């Protein structure tokens, strides 16, 4: 994700709110008599649960079903274009997976041919605005008697993502590269396209397209198999999606908070730090601070594959012996900071979930608040830094009202988006700002 710009608050109000919140946490308060209260400790839970810049969601019921593998001849693919060719699903040909079942296109005689198979995606699956859709398919070109052949231009064999408006008009079709021969057998095609309305048309529908077009010698046999679909969020997503999607931005965000707290005299014994940074051992927050690797010397309690919803909820559970929450005293001051991917499409009711890359688990707002409400502390600051965090505080129809009921914590501040929207980050520190992550903590 890129730099956060979607929180609908005036910048000065954001800064003021953060400063006030941190003053409450960092500065001692005294009663009227001037006598200090019984002293507690400053404690924090920091969670960074992902380092993939884009969240990938597969479509398993499609990818492993008959719409993608054609293991029997019943499916929902239709014919879009048919010109001097023939096509259908068949179990008489072995597919890429070695099992019977493919979509087959056949050209019987020499000459020009054009064929399209169409799958109307939005007839069966939801369409996510601003998501990048990734379509792949295995293709085999041969002659019907077996052996090598090739297709002459114009377009050969290709696959596409076709975006339609509410009147079924074509907004655009984004195509893969074309192939004209597959001398080694099966070859993989893929195409990525973003569901956006940048050219002024409302996109409401998506079709998957498998296409063959060219001048042929006759008896060409084109097979399609093992179709897969994924969608990636959040935008803006570069096309094609980078081959290396691990990025400094997310772990850098959590590390910023860690080092800020360390600079404000928080001890490592009082910071419980969960950080997912698989395949990224060199994380640089600020391009100009002279620090080469901000991960070095950081004391991390739980890393990588162990950073999951189960472990996080365990550490928030005051009833779990040895958990971090079980050792928080009523005079302690607590910060809870969580950052990374959120979604508002998992639960079906629009409420947000916080996700963990390690095992694709998630925690709901209800699970989170039920644990937090059991913690007894003098003060608590919770910062939820994720997409759709405005709906992570929407336990009921009155947004945020349930969060004011923390019976065991007299002083409480929640910092999050006030809207159900995407958040934005710098992926790394190679930008004008010089920071990886979001702008939120740079001033500290």
Each residue's pLDDT tens digit, 13-46: 344 344 444 444 444 444 444 445 557 999 999 9
pLDDT in tens, 226-279: 999 988 765 445 555 554 455 666 788 899 899 999 999 999 999 999 999 988
Other CB atoms within a 10 A radius of the CB of residue 304 amount to 16
3-class SS at 296? coil
Tell whether 252 and 267 lie within a shared domain.
Answer: yes
Are residue 223 and residue 264 in the same domain, yes or no? Answer: no
Please state the rounded mean pLDDT for residues 54-74.
81
Structure tokens at 47: 């969670």
183 in the same domain as 257: no
Do 41 and 89 fall into the same domain? no
Residue 444 falls inside a structural domain = no
Residue 93 belongs to domain with CATH number: 2.60.120.260
User: Do 200 and 83 belong to one domain?
Assistant: yes
| pLDDT given at position 148 | 87
Distance of CA 268 to the CA centre of its chain: 30
205 part of a folded domain: yes
| Residue 274 maps to a domain | yes
Distance between CA atoms of residues 229 and 135, nearest Å = 5
Task: Please enumerate in sequence order all residues whose Cβ is within 8 A of that of 172, keeping only pairs 6 or more positions apart, or say none.
Answer: 162, 163, 199
Residues 216 and 272 reside in one and the same domain: no
Please tell me whether residues 113 and 255 are part of one structural domain.
Answer: no
Supply the range of the domain harboring residue 276.
Answer: 11-53+244-415
The pLDDT of residue 165: 92
Domain-embedded: residue 322: yes
CA distance 241 to 228: 16
> Does residue 7 have a pLDDT over 50?
no
Quote the pLDDT of residue 202: 85
pLDDT at 3 over 50: no
Q: Are residues 123 and 229 in the same domain?
A: yes
SS3 of 341, please? coil
Same domain flag for 17 and 134: no
Establish if 110 belongs to a structural domain. yes
Q: Which of 213, 233, 253 is the last residue of a domain?
A: 233
Residue 63 within any structural domain of the chain? yes
Point out the least confidently predicted range of 165-169, 202-206, 328-332, 413-417: 413-417
Q: Which residue, 227, 252, 245, 179, is CA-closest to 3?
A: 252
Is 439 within a domain? no
Between 96 and 393, the more confident residue is 96
CATH classification of the domain holding 265: 3.40.50
Question: Residue 274: its pLDDT value, please?
Answer: 98
pLDDT in tens, 127-179: 887 788 889 999 999 998 788 899 999 999 999 999 999 899 999 999 999 99
Asked whether residue 96 falls in the same domain as residue 225, the answer is: yes
Where among 233, 264, 296 does a domain terminate? 233
In the listed set 198, 233, 268, which residue is the last one of a domain according to the structure? 233
Alpha-carbon distances, residue 214 vs 1, 85, 102, 191, 438 (angstroms) = 41, 11, 21, 20, 49
Amino acid 345: pLDDT: 65
Residues 269 and 400 in one domain: yes
Q: What is the 3-state secondary structure (H, E, C) of 101-161?
A: EEEEEEECCCEEEEEEEEEEHHHCCCCCCCCEEEEEEEEEEEECCCCCCCCEEEEEEEEEE
With respect to residue 91, please indicate whether it lies within any of the assigned structural domains: yes
pLDDT digits (tens, 9 = 90+) for 388-437: 666 665 544 444 455 556 777 888 777 766 554 455 555 566 666 667 66
Number of domains in the chain: 2
Of 414 and 97, which is predicted with more confidence? Answer: 97
Question: Looking at the predicted structure, is the pLDDT value of residue 288 above 50?
Answer: yes
Q: Are 106 and 202 within one domain? A: yes
Residue 32: per-residue pLDDT: 41
Instruction: For residue 274, give the H/E element and its range.
Output: strand 271-275
Give the alpha-carbon dihedral of 349, 355, 361, 363, to 10 degrees.
-60
pLDDT the model gives residue 12:
36
Query: In sequence order, what are the residues at sequence separation of 6 or more whose Cβ sits closer than 8 angstroms to the Cβ of residue 398?
Result: none
The pLDDT score that the predictor gives to residue 14 is 43
Spatial distance between the Cα atoms of 47 and 26, rounded to a whole number of angstroms: 20
Residue 114 has pLDDT above 70, yes or no: yes
Mean pLDDT of 194-208: 80
For tokens 């971090």, the residue is 324
The pLDDT assigned to 137 comes to: 96
Q: Where are the alpha helices (DSSP H) in 46-86?
A: 60-63, 66-69
Amino acid 31: pLDDT: 44
Q: Report d(CA 129, CA 124) in Å as an integer.
A: 16
pLDDT at res. 376: 95
- On the CB side of 326, CA atoms within 13 Å amount to 10
């Amino acid at each position: 994700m890129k730099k956060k710009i979607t929180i609908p608050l005036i910048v000065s109000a954001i800064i003021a709110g953060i400063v006030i919140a941190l003053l409450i946490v960092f500065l001692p308060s005294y009663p009227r008599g001037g006598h200090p209260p019984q002293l507690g400790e400053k404690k924090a839970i920091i969670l960074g649960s992902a380092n993939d810049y884009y969240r990938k969601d597969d479509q398993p019921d499609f990818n492993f079903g008959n719409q993608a593998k054609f293991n029997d001849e019943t499916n929902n693919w239709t014919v879009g274009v048919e010109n001097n060719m023939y096509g259908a699903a068949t179990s008489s040909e072995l597919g890429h997976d070695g099992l019977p079942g493919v979509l087959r296109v056949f050209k019987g005689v020499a000459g020009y041919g054009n064929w399209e198979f169409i799958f109307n995606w939005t007839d069966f699956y939801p369409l996510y605005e601003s998501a990048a859709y990734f379509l792949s398919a295995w293709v085999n070109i041969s002659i019907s008697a077996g052996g090598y052949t090739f297709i002459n231009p114009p377009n050969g064999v290709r696959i596409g993502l076709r975006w339609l408006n509410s009147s079924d008009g074509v907004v655009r079709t984004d195509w893969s590269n074309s192939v004209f021969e597959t001398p080694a057998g099966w070859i993989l095609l893929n195409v990525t396209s973003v569901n956006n309305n940048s050219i002024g048309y409302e996109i409401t529908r998506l079709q998957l397209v498998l296409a063959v077009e060219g001048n042929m010698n006759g008896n060409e046999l084109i097979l399609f198999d093992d179709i897969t679909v994924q969608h990636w969020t959040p935008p803006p997503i570069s096309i094609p999606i980078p081959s290396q999607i691990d990025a400094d931005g997310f772990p850098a965000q959590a590390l910023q908070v860690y080092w800020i707290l360390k600079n404000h005299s928080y001890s490592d014994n009082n910071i419980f730090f969960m950080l997912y940074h698989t395949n990224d051992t060199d994380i640089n927050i600020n391009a100009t601070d002279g620090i080469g690797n901000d991960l070095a010397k950081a004391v991390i309690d739980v890393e990588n594959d162990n950073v999951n919803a189960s472990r996080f909820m365990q550490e928030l559970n005051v009833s779990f012996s040895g958990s971090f929450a079980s050792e928080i005293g009523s005079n302690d001051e607590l910060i809870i900071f969580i950052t990374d991917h959120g979604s508002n499409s998992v639960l079906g009711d629009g409420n947000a979930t916080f996700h963990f890359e390690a095992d694709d688990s998630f925690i709901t707002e209800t699970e989170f608040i039920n644990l937090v409400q059991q913690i007894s502390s003098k003060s608590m600051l919770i910062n939820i830094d994720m997409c759709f965090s405005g709906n992570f505080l929407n336990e009921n129809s009155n947004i945020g009202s349930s969060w004011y009921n923390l019976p065991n914590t007299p002083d409480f501040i929640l910092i999050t988006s006030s809207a159900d929207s995407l958040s934005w980050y710098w992926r790394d520190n190679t930008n004008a700002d010089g920071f990886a992550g979001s702008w939120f903590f740079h001033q500290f």
